[in-house]
């Protein structure tokens, strides 16, 4: 069988056209794409479950061709449309898995394939992907103007956008070039941004960049946090406080001795937890944490959560190195543990951190009470897995010996913290219920 298709110039791909066209031409093009997506939505509503079609509406899947009568919109994606008949997918999913390594195909099919196959049938996700594509193409400026013009569409062509979430994402990104908050501190000037977005994600990340990789001698720190749907995230300012001797501090699950004084700080935390996923204090110390899965036992009851440890470090430390020492000291005294999911009451993990101040930054990674740390030289990023291997600057005194005792470090092999302690399966395929997570993004600039 031979299939012939008209040949198009790649200059007509919509994700390229948005960089060379006028604003009106871009808005016209985007309107036409929304019209097409909406028409498909109407078709599905009329015909399912008998017949239903799915489409990937991202800009790179459309061509915008000039013709004598104006412009013609052409859909060119090769992996969609997908079709369901009587609610059953007609495409053999094994075709999509052929590009994956053989040993992983069964795992992908078991845990991820349903979400991949079904997301293009969910018009809410299709619209979000289209808007997110404008961020990817560095054209978020088109979104507010486009939404304003959308209000003038014919009612029959007004798509049902996920209004609250997508408007919130657009506002947050549009405002990303000006601070949403400024902290008056005893030391450096801090500028930081908190943004909320809405997109299906499965991991969270923290990064830091140091001079000379940044402009104006600034240290740039960023963190995004993927949390469960409908879990409110509290953005809070806590002033400096003094306490009477002998006081007790109740953290999420564990009460510990209180210190004499705590520093002022901004925090982003799940509303039901005492600890925080990210924050910055009055001295310019910023910290973000990540969940990591290791071969060490996880305590689901008792102990300090990773977020508790982060907040305690912000309260008690003035520098990144001091914050590291606070966290490792508390690990030795109290250990880490406790459930960290609002709805998923089995979610528990160990933690990694990036700590940055006006002078330096450190990466700290833990496996239960054991830990390893590395000073950042230029830039660094962490996510839901251990990253520090054979090269490190500080380490728990028993980390190497414990790995030997437990058979994690084979005889004759050099010690590598990540290789010895990372749980490969959970690190590669972190626990997920295929829900839509709600990320919160934090970005800070610590200016000398």
CATH number at residue 419: 3.60.60
The answer to whether residues 183 and 138 belong to one domain is no
Domain boundary residue among 119, 152, 172?
A: 172
Helix residue spans in 137-284 (DSSP H) = 142-150, 163-174
The answer to whether residues 164 and 196 belong to one domain is no
The answer to whether residues 186 and 245 belong to one domain is yes
The answer to whether residues 387 and 280 belong to one domain is yes
The per-residue pLDDT for 120 is 83
252 domain-assigned? yes
Does the pLDDT at position 302 exceed 70?
A: yes
For residue 92, give Cα distances in angstroms to 1, 54, 77, 95, 109.
Answer: 20, 15, 17, 6, 12
The answer to whether residues 92 and 127 belong to one domain is yes
The answer to whether residues 222 and 253 belong to one domain is yes
Distance from C-alpha of 59 to C-alpha of 36, rounded to nearest angstrom: 13
- Whether 14 sits among the annotated catalytic residues: the reply is no
The answer to whether residues 70 and 215 belong to one domain is no
Residues 316-335 have a mean pLDDT of: 97
1 domain-assigned? no
Catalytic annotation, pick one of 14, 204, 340, 443: 204
Domain boundary residue among 123, 152, 172?
A: 172
Q: Which long-range contacts (CB under 8 A, 24 or more apart) does 402-405 make?
A: 402/370
Residues 425-444 have a mean pLDDT of: 55
3 domain-assigned? no
The answer to whether residues 221 and 202 belong to one domain is yes
The answer to whether residues 239 and 366 belong to one domain is yes
Lowest mean pLDDT of 39-43, 75-79, 204-208, 237-241, name the range.
75-79
Q: Which domain holds residue 425?
A: 179-447
Q: Residue 198 has which token pair?
A: 């809405």
End-to-end CA separation in angstroms for the chain: 67
Distance from C-alpha of 152 to C-alpha of 349, rounded to nearest angstrom: 49
Mean pLDDT rounded to a whole number for the chain: 80
Distance from C-alpha of 295 to C-alpha of 370, rounded to nearest angstrom: 11
The answer to whether residues 292 and 422 belong to one domain is yes
Residues 415-435 have a mean pLDDT of: 75
267 domain-assigned? yes
User: Which candidate, 169, 209, 198, places its Cα nearest to that of 435?
Assistant: 198
- Predicted structure pTM score: 0.60
5 domain-assigned? no
The answer to whether residues 317 and 346 belong to one domain is yes
The answer to whether residues 81 and 212 belong to one domain is no
4 domain-assigned? no
Kind and range of the H or E run holding 65 = strand 62-67
165 domain-assigned? yes
The DSSP-derived string for 268-281 is EEETT-SS-SEEEE
**Domains contained in the chain, number:** 2
Domain boundary residue among 145, 172, 199?
A: 172
368 domain-assigned? yes
Q: How many other C-beta atoms lie within 10 A of the C-beta of residue 424?
A: 11
pLDDT digits (tens, 9 = 90+) for 227-278: 877 777 788 889 999 999 999 999 999 999 999 999 999 888 888 999 999 9
């Amino acid at each position: 069988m031979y299939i012939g298709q008209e040949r198009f110039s790649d200059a007509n791909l919509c994700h390229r056209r948005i960089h060379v066209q006028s604003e009106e031409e871009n808005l016209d093009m985007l309107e036409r794409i929304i019209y097409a997506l909406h028409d498909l939505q109407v078709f599905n509503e009329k015909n399912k479950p008998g017949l239903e079609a799915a489409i990937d509406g991202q800009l790179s899947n459309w061509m915008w061709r000039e013709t004598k009568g104006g412009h013609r919109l052409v859909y060119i994606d090769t992996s969609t449309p997908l079709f369901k008949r009587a609610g059953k997918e007609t495409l053999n999913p094994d075709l999509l898995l052929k590009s994956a390594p053989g040993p992983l195909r069964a795992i992908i099919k078991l845990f991820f394939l349903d979400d991949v196959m079904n997301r293009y049938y969910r018009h809410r996700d299709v619209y979000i992907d289209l808007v997110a594509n404008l961020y990817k193409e560095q054209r978020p400026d088109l979104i507010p103007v486009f939404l304003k013009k959308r209000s003038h569409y014919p009612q029959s062509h007004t798509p049902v956008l996920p209004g609250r979430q997508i408007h919130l994402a657009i506002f947050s990104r549009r405002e990303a070039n000006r601070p949403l908050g400024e902290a008056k501190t005893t030391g450096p000037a801090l500028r930081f941004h908190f943004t909320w977005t809405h997109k299906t994600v499965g991991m969270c990340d923290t990064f830091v960049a140091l001079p000379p990789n940044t402009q104006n001698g600034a240290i740039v720190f960023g963190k995004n946090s993927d949390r469960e749907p409908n879990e409110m995230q509290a953005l809070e300012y806590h002033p400096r406080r003094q306490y009477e001797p002998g006081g007790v501090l109740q953290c999420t699950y564990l009460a510990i001795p209180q210190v004499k004084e705590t520093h002022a700080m901004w925090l982003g935390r799940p509303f039901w937890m005492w600890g925080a996923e990210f924050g910055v204090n009055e001295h310019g110390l910023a910290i973000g944490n990540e969940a990591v899965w290791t071969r060490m036992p996880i305590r689901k009851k008792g102990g300090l959560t990773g977020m508790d440890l982060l907040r305690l470090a912000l309260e008690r430390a003035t520098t990144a190195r001091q914050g590291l020492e606070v966290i490792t000291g508390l690990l030795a005294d109290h250990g880490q543990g406790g459930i960290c999911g609002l709805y998923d009451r089995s979610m528990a993990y160990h933690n990694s951190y990036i700590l940055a101040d006006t002078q330096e930054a450190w990466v700290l990674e833990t496996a239960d009470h054991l830990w390893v740390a590395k000073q950042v030289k230029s830039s660094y990023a962490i996510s839901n897995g251990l990253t520090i291997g054979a090269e490190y600057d500080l380490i728990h005194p028993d980390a190497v010996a414990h790995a030997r005792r437990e058979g994690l470090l084979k005889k004759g092999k050099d010690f590598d913290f990540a290789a010895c302690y990372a749980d490969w399966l959970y690190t590669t395929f972190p626990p997920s219920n295929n829900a839509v997570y709600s990320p919160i993004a934090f970005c800070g600039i610590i200016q000398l």
